Amino acid sequence: MTAELPLFRRFPGLAGRLPRQPLCDLPTPVEDCGALADAVGIGGLHAKRDDLSAPLYGGNKVRKLEFLLADAQARHRREVLTFGFAGSNFAAATAFYGERLGLHCLSMLLPQVPSDYVRSNLSLGLTAGAEIFHAETVPRLACRAVLETLKRPLTGRRVPYWIPAGGSAPQGVAAYINAALELAEQVEAGLLPAPHRIYVAMGSMGTVAGLAIGLVLAGMASQVVAVRVVEKRFASAQGLSELLQRTLRWLGPEVAQQVNAAQALARVEVREEFFGSHYGEVTAKTAAAMEQFAGSTSLRLDGTYSAKAAAALLADADSGRLGEQESLFWHTFNARPLEGLLSTHGLDIPPAIRPYFAGC
Smallest separation, CB 89 to ligand PLP (Å): 3
Region at 150 (left for phi over 0; alpha for psi -120 to 50; beta for the rest): alpha
CB nearer to ligand PLP: give 89 or 222. Answer: 89
Rule CB under 6 A: say whether 202 interacts with ligand PLP.
yes
Alpha helix positions (H), 194-256:
206-218, 237-251, 253-256
- Count, residues in the chain: 360
CB nearer to ligand PLP: give 60 or 178. Answer: 60
Rule CB under 6 A: say whether 222 interacts with ligand PLP.
no
CA torsion sign for 321, 324, 325, 327 is positive
Q: Is the peptide bond before 19 cis (omega within 30 degrees of 0)?
A: no
Binder of ligand PLP out of 58, 160, 203, 303 (CB under 6 A): 203
Rule CB under 6 A: say whether 87 interacts with ligand PLP.
no
Of 148-156, 211-219, 236-244, 301-309, which segment contacts ligand PLP by CB under 6 A? 301-309
Distance, CA of 157 to CA of 144 (rounded, Å): 11
Smallest separation, CB 308 to ligand PLP (Å): 9
Bridge partner residues of 105 (DSSP): 80
Binder of ligand PLP out of 85, 199, 274, 333 (CB under 6 A): 333
Binder of ligand PLP out of 27, 44, 59, 195 (CB under 6 A): 59
Smallest separation, CB 211 to ligand PLP (Å): 9
Site string for ligand PLP, 167-196 (x = CB under 6 A): -x----------------------------
CB nearer to ligand PLP: give 147 or 286. Answer: 286
**How many CA atoms are closer than 13 Å to the CA of 164, on its beta-carbon side?**
13
Rule CB under 6 A: say whether 82 interacts with ligand PLP.
no
CB nearer to ligand PLP: give 37 or 299. Answer: 299
Rule CB under 6 A: say whether 332 interacts with ligand PLP.
yes
Rule CB under 6 A: say whether 239 interacts with ligand PLP.
no
**Which segments of 203-339 are extended strands (E)?**
223-228, 268-271, 326-331
| CA distances, 67 to each of 16, 167, 191 (Å) | 12, 10, 27
Count the residues of the shown chain that bind ligand PLP, applying the rule CB under 6 A: 20
Contact between 276 and 283 under an 8 Å Cβ cutoff? The reply is yes
| CA distances, 137 to each of 95, 96, 141, 167, 305 (Å) | 21, 24, 11, 18, 22
Cβ contacts of 71 within 8 Å, gap of 6 or more: 18, 19, 161, 171
Q: How many whole angstroms from its chain centre is CA 209?
A: 11
CB nearer to ligand PLP: give 117 or 150. Answer: 117
CB nearer to ligand PLP: give 10 or 63. Answer: 63
Binder of ligand PLP out of 89, 94, 123, 222 (CB under 6 A): 89
Smallest separation, CB 155 to ligand PLP (Å): 28
Rule CB under 6 A: say whether 306 interacts with ligand PLP.
yes
CB nearer to ligand PLP: give 193 or 250. Answer: 250
For 295, the enclosing helix (H) or strand (E) is: helix 284-296
Positions in the binding site for ligand PLP (CB under 6 A):
59-61, 89-90, 166, 168, 201-208, 302, 305-306, 332-333
